[in-house]
Structure 1
Amino acid sequence: MCGIWALFGSDECLSVQCTCAMKIAHRGPDAFRFENVNGFTNCCFGFHRLAIVDQLYGMQPLRIKKFPYMWLCYNGEIYNHHTQFDFDYQTKMDGEILLHLYDRFGIKKMASLLDGVFAFILLDTANRKVHVGRDTYGVRPLFKLLTDDGFLALCSEAKGLIDITHAMATPANIVPFLPGHFEVFDLMLNGKVQSIQMEQFHCCRQEPSHAIYDTLERLPTSLDEEVVKSNIRILFENAVRKRLMAHRRIGCLLSGGLDSSLVAATLVKLAKEEKLPYPIQTFSIGSDDSPDILAARKVAAHIGSEHHEVNFTAEEGIKVVEEVIVHLESYDITTIRASVVMYLVSKYIRQQTDSVVIFSGEGSDELTQGYIYFHKVMGPDCFLCLCAK
């Protein structure tokens, strides 16, 4: 993950405002940058970088010679950046494709053609427009603060906006940017903005526009059991394969359950096919000899991963609850409970290993109705609504 932050039309000193951006410094431990926008001295970008792709030219805001009037800050991964479009790339950054797609197709089609997870802020000074967007499922976070007089602030986490200072008649709310949407703002000469378009570019119930460019051959639509199984295997393997684009070491969380075991096994298999120059590390967490630890140990031995086990006590879990709440920006009990172990295992990975890009089995229960409450749902329409939710 990276941290993105931007202000448009600030009435306060930007050197003071920029201290707010340091509250998300944990999102990008490799480098950070603050940069004013030429001709708009009260507009500023901030970026905290976790280097995943193109460590040499990957700093942001991204600007390239071909489009000197464009400024891009984004957080995410674009899986189809080098597979579907024949652009004259000037870096190896996956995000550069946003600039080329925007130039060729405009903002709506640009967003719809991205196969990945993302949150972006794209400034076009030639046309005086600010474009903001977020992926369909909201995997990458983005928060917005917009005042009545046109001051706009954006950040990967709400904590980077709560201390922003600005003279305003009524307090402005900090709101999550809607997943699957883009918003267009006119940029005034004084640096302030006015929202002129807010539109959904994709819904999870629709086939994405980028599917027509997929490198996979069209799959058969038969509901024959063997055909369905074959399609699932092909799509699943492709989903793992396209995420091997990282230039940093890849690992995988492993609980020993069905979901994470399938991801880990497929990842180890494809890593060998792609000749990655390191063994895949897997990570499990639990108390001594807990069921997850034991199951993960068996799976790791079977697939041949370099396995790590993180043991923790109840006291250690309780101790980090406040830190977890700060990072989650939520008091939701279920989310906190699940995130405590995620926080502890992530902390171990960061401190004790060189794995940076971590796969997991998260999201599969929502996709395949794995939770117990799905068993009580009446009818396919209710299933669909719950999955979409």
Structure 2
Amino acid sequence: MLLSSHCCHSALQSSCRVTLSAAPVRRSKMCGIWALFGSDECLAIQCTNAMKIAHRGPDAFRFENVNGFTNCCFGFHRLAIVDQLHGMQPLRVKKFPYLWLCYNGEIYNHELLKEQFEFDYQTRMDGEILLHLYDRFGIEKMSSLLDGVFAFILLDTANRKIFLGRDTYGVRPMFKLLTDDGFLAVCSEAKGLTQITHSMSEPVKIMPFPPGHFEEFNLKLNGKVESVQLERFHCCTEEPKHAEYDDAEQLGKGFALETVKSNIRILFENAVRKRLMAHRRIGCLLSGGLDSSLVAATLVKLSKEQELQYPIQTFAIGAEDSPDIAAARKVAAHIGSEHHEVNFTPEEAIKAVEEVIVHLESYDITTVRASVGMYLVSKYIREKTDSVVIFSGEGSDELTQGYIYFHKAPSPKAGAEDSVRLLKELYMFDVLRADRTTAAHGLELRVPFLDHRFTAYYLSLPEEMRAPKDGVEKHLLREAFSGLDLIPDEILWRRKEAFSDGMTSTKKSWYSFLQENIESKINDSQLQKAKKLFPYNPPTTKEGLFMRQLFEKHYPGCYEWITHYWMPRWIKATDPSARTLSIYKPEKDQ
């Protein structure tokens, strides 16, 4: 037990604070956040639930009651990336003694906003900007001015208000549980809420907090809460309000091809540059595909310009004959990164599936498949290297219409609409995968393709410009970087290969090994009964049923965490893998 029993109801008028610090050699700022308001149970016992997200912040843990407020408390697991001395939360500063803040994320424009509004900082934490912005402008404008990725819990004791908020694409996760009698529980991951005890006559749903929204609650005198409003503060198709405070170079006007290409390069490089904010070593996942290669190459270029004291590490995972391993090796040699190759074996991957599902909190087939490799490479990074901040190429396929099925879009308008749909659903699929598999090993993920300025600009371009061209997906993005020698031409124009496919040979995909293993574990009779057993998102394959069973084993009845399975559109498909589609051809056949 972390806390002594005196931290229950009788002692709530005094602050109960416990901080557990790890060895001083590991510090960080990415974290796991957790909070309870209006609990009917002993807070000391409830606090043990917060330990289920300890992987998100292995450096230190703090649990703190809110003085004078019945059964309100915060929990925080820390991985320190900036301000190593003053990075513990909940964050409180002398200027705003009535504000309590727990947040997970990075605010990339905090220095610009600090200078613009002449705020007087008391820490070096980027999150302090939330306190100043809220005090001056209120919650809505505060949220809209933030350029970054974040999930926050803000308590205003003076006005008896609680606010929750999450970034536009849900890069940083957050779940909430709210009962009819005014009990509110919030956590970075759902697993930190599944064992919460409360005097509830009926089960209460734990649901992901919607990206791009904030929610306001009243905190009643009896400690219970009441939801007042849930509002969207930013949508991916909107130009962010913080753009006027961004330090990006002046962009060219109009949609002439050369102007557009130049703007794409400027905004993408700026997106990578602002994410270099760290006091820990930086690495990059490198599959050898277009997206991760552009991120890695730009990262290496900017790190040299800023004279970082160490080379950028890149990480690839795959079998010896995987196309990804070969392509990543070429990119690493071209850009001069310190490259690591992680051996991938189907046997090791199959053993990891259940553990991956536990971390994902998802049973989506393509998400689980792709997560296994990312989970294993993240494990290697944690155990074998000193890189903590990890860049990756997530979001590009959704933004730039990179999936193979976009070739079958009935019109540029339809393709553009589906691109926005995919971006809005990232928090259930690719962004969820990338966050959970890296955070499982105490790593912090950074995704420059989901930069607000970059996505808003790209989505503002004419629909015809963004559509596949000459049989090549992501044609505009490729063309923007053509002729620069940033990455090899063969990589620049390499066709889309799903991560879960590219890890293994073109002769046999990873999912085929998995399906063969599952064949002996699920029989035809079980599959036939699956539709009645699981009427919500019923599995239609033995693989799908196997994953659903593992999910239900750990998270019974929590199937609504995803609304649907990820599947290609506009083409008959029974499997999410591009290799199963009739329009897919291996690179050697192009």
- Structure 2 length as normaliser, TM-score? 0.65
Contact 1:7 1:43 in 2 (8 A): yes
Q: How does 1:241-320 map to 2 (within 5 A)?
A: 241-320=273-352
Instruction: Measure the CA separation in 2 of the matches of 1:90 and 1:327.
Output: 36
Query: Once the two structures are superposed, what CA deviation does each residue of 1:259-305 show, in whole Å capped at 9, x if it has no partner?
Result: 11111111001001111111100000001142111111111111111
Query: Once the two structures are superposed, what CA deviation does each residue of 1:140-198 show, in whole Å capped at 9, x if it has no partner?
Result: 11101000110000001111111111112332111111111100001112211111111
One-letter amino acid matched to 1:188: K
Counterpart of 2:114 in 1: which secondary structure? Answer: coil
After TM superposition, give the deviation of residue 133 of structure 1 in Å.
Answer: 0.4
Query: Once the two structures are superposed, what CA deviation does each residue of 1:100-148 show, in whole Å capped at 9, x if it has no partner?
Result: 1101110000000000111000001011100000011111111010001
Counterpart of 1:230 in 2: which secondary structure? Answer: helix
Determine which structure has the larger strand proportion and give its number: 1
Counterpart of 1:34 in 2: which secondary structure? Answer: strand
Match status 1:35 vs 2:64: yes
Q: Which residue of 2 aligns with 1:66?
A: 95
Contact 1:283 1:308 in 2 (8 A): yes
Match status 1:82 vs 2:111: yes
After TM superposition, give the deviation of residue 380 of structure 1 in Å.
Answer: 3.4
Instruction: Measure the CA separation in 2 of the matches of 1:59 and 1:383.
Output: 44
Instruction: Measure the CA separation in 2 of the matches of 1:174 and 1:315.
Output: 34
One-letter amino acid matched to 2:44: S
Instruction: Measure the CA separation in 1 of the matches of 2:413 and 2:208.
Output: 27
Moved more, 81-90 or 39-48: 81-90
Instruction: Measure the CA separation in 1 of the matches of 2:359 and 2:76.
Output: 18
Q: 5+ residue gaps in structure 1?
A: none
Q: How does 1:190-269 map to 2 (within 5 A)?
A: 190-269=222-301
Query: Once the two structures are superposed, what CA deviation does each residue of 1:302-322 show, in whole Å capped at 9, x if it has no partner?
Result: 111111100021000001000
Counterpart of 2:230 in 1: which secondary structure? Answer: strand
Instruction: Measure the CA separation in 2 of the matches of 1:347 and 1:88.
Output: 40
Query: Once the two structures are superposed, what CA deviation does each residue of 1:195-215 show, in whole Å capped at 9, x if it has no partner?
Result: 111111011111111012111
One-letter amino acid matched to 2:136: R
One-letter amino acid matched to 1:181: H
Moved more, 217-226 or 197-206: 217-226
Contact 1:84 1:214 in 2 (8 A): no
Query: Once the two structures are superposed, what CA deviation does each residue of 1:48-87 show, in whole Å capped at 9, x if it has no partner?
Result: 1111111110011001111111100011111001123321
Q: Tell me how many residue pairs correspond in the alignment.
A: 389
Match of 1:145 among 172, 177, 194: 177
After TM superposition, give the deviation of residue 89 of structure 1 in Å.
Answer: 1.0
Instruction: Measure the CA separation in 2 of the matches of 1:386 and 1:226.
Output: 26
Q: 5+ residue gaps in structure 2?
A: 1-29, 422-590
Instruction: Measure the CA separation in 2 of the matches of 1:201 and 1:172.
Output: 27
Instruction: Measure the CA separation in 2 of the matches of 1:292 and 1:125.
Output: 52
Match status 1:99 vs 2:131: yes
Match status 1:26 vs 2:55: yes
One-letter amino acid matched to 1:78: I
Instruction: Measure the CA separation in 2 of the matches of 1:78 and 1:304.
Output: 30
After TM superposition, give the deviation of residue 218 of structure 1 in Å.
Answer: 3.4
Query: Once the two structures are superposed, what CA deviation does each residue of 1:15-46 show, in whole Å capped at 9, x if it has no partner?
Result: 11011111111111111100000111411100
Instruction: Measure the CA separation in 2 of the matches of 1:285 and 1:182.
Output: 38
After TM superposition, give the deviation of residue 373 of structure 1 in Å.
Answer: 1.4
Contact 1:30 1:51 in 2 (8 A): yes
> Kindly, what percent of the aligned residue pairs are identical?
80
Q: Which runs of structure 1 show a deviation greater than 6 angstroms over 4 or more consecutive aligned residues?
A: none
Match status 1:372 vs 2:404: yes
Instruction: Measure the CA separation in 2 of the matches of 1:343 and 1:309.
Output: 14
Moved more, 114-123 or 290-299: 290-299
Instruction: Measure the CA separation in 2 of the matches of 1:380 and 1:178.
Output: 28
Instruction: Measure the CA separation in 2 of the matches of 1:72 and 1:8.
Output: 14
Contact 2:145 2:241 in 1 (8 A): yes
Contact 2:349 2:372 in 1 (8 A): yes
Determine which structure has the larger helix proportion and give its number: 2
- Structure 1 length as normaliser, TM-score? 0.98
